[in-house]
């Protein structure tokens, strides 16, 4: 059987992945290791090959995921890795956490107790502190009060506390108010760690750097750098630059199934939202919103055909879309690029995201499972 049907597919460059990782490592101090965030199927790039490459060829030991299913998937790819679940795992699955040597993010004393009461195993954990994200984690006005709760959690039978961590809300912004807010978040967790040391508790890990902090405010006190979107070559915020050489590792491609000339007045696609203003050459492309190419790009997006930007006309359908190839030598069977480079042109996930009010993260995570991932060096 052929490795993929020549319809719509994503090409993932493992070579560029390795280059990105070397760049990211170079941003960190010698005491900080990269924790690769590979949740959501490695941000849509595919767990198995991405995790294997990171572990075996890039020397990555730490991985972060969203849930237990993801953790077990990564464990199968990387048997010796340290894997942290950032999100919630029901306490009744505590045995599976321990059995697979997973580290669980713990958000409260009550949750820690529930995990330990559900299993006779030792539960490894990092404790999440809400320093201003307002999402999950311990929340206290003063670092010393937070440290005292962590001190108590360290006495819970069956709980092995190995670190504390937090998540920045606006580290991807250079607005002075947002910079000050991130400064405050960072100071809170480092002060909490220092209070723990005063209490005689010296944990192996304290981590707070996400992709944005890794790029823009690297701090040697963070033992781990939780690199996520930058691994895959996208911007934490499209308005701020990333280090030179950091490039997207995924390209999304499809083929032209038919090319035809249509007269003035021809309606294209559902709803008759596009009517040809003159004679045009229209190509049908074998990709649609069921593949993760958003319907919000209808009559907005562009696709690269032989190095030319060709506008989408009419609504994006479930499995197909139409583009204006007037003036381009386009034929049935030609490969087109929806995300990636062709000739001197490039379309990025961030560019598509800006067209319909989202972020590049959502674009790559949204490419559906029916689109095969093809791995190249």
Q: Is 270 a catalytic residue?
A: yes
**Cβ neighbour number for residue 22 with a 10 Å cutoff:** 11
Q: Say whether 311 sits in a helix, a strand or coil.
A: strand
| Residue 281 is a catalytic residue | no
- At a CB cut-off of 8 Å and minimum separation 6, what does 141 contact? none
State the Cα–Cα distance between residues 124 and 163, nearest whole angstrom. Answer: 10
C-alpha gyration radius of the chain: 24
Give ∠ CA 370-371-374 in degrees, rounded to 5.
130
Per the structure block, which two tokens stand in for 2? Answer: 């052929």
Can you tell me whether residue 376 is helix, strand or coil? strand
Indicate which residue of 18, 19, 148, 270 is catalytic: 270
Q: Would you say 23 and 245 are in contact if contact means Cβ atoms under 8 Å apart?
A: yes
What are the C-alpha distances in Å from 219 to residues 114, 156, 193, 209, 222?
34, 31, 14, 8, 6
Burial (CB count within 10 angstroms: exposed 0-12, middle 13-18, buried 19+), residue 177: exposed
Partnered with residue 268 across adjacent β-strands are 274
Cβ neighbours of 247 (radius 10 Å): 18
H or E element: which one contains 323? Answer: strand 321-324
Catalytic residues: 39, 270
């Amino acid at each position: 059987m052929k490795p993929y049907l020549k319809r719509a597919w994503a090409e993932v460059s493992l070579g560029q992945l390795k280059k990105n990782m070397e760049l990211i490592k170079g941003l960190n101090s010698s005491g900080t290791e990269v924790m690769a965030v590979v949740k959501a199927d490695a941000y849509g790039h595919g767990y198995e090959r991405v995790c294997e490459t990171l572990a075996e060829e890039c020397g990555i030991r730490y991985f972060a995921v969203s849930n237990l299913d993801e953790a077990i998937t990564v464990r199968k790819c990387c048997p010796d890795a340290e894997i942290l679940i950032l999100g919630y795992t029901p306490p009744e699955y505590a045995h599976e956490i321990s059995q697979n040597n997973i580290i669980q993010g713990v958000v409260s004393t009550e949750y820690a107790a529930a995990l330990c009461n559900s299993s006779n195993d030792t539960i490894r954990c990092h404790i999440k502190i809400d320093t201003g994200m307002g999402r999950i984690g311990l929340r206290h006005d003063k670092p010393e009060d937070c440290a005292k709760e962590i001190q108590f959690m360290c006495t819970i039978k069956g709980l092995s506390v190995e670190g504390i961590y937090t998540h920045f809300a606006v580290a991807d912004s250079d607005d002075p108010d947002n910079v000050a807010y991130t400064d405050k978040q960072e100071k809170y967790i480092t002060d909490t760690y220092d209070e723990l040391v005063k209490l005689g508790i010296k944990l192996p890990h304290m981590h707070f750097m996400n992709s944005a902090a890794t790029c823009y405010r690297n701090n040697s006190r963070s033992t781990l750098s939780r690199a996520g979107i930058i691994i895959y070559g996208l911007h934490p915020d499209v308005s701020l630059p990333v280090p030179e050489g950091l490039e997207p590792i995924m390209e999304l491609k499809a083929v032209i199934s038919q090319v035809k000339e249509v007269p003035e007045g021809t309606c294209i696609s559902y709803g008759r939202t596009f009517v040809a203003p003159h004679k045009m050459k229209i190509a049908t492309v074998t990709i649609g919103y069921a593949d993760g190419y958003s319907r919000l790009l209808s009559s907005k997006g562009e696709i690269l055909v032989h190095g030319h930007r060709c506008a989408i006309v009419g609504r994006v359908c479930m499995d197909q879309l139409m583009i204006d190839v007037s003036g381009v030598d386009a034929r049935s069977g030609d490969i087109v690029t929806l995300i990636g480079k062709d000739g001197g042109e490039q379309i990025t996930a961030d560019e598509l995201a800006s067209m319909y009010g989202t972020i590049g993260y959502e674009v790559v995570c949204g490419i559906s499972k029916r689109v095969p991932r093809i791995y190249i060096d």
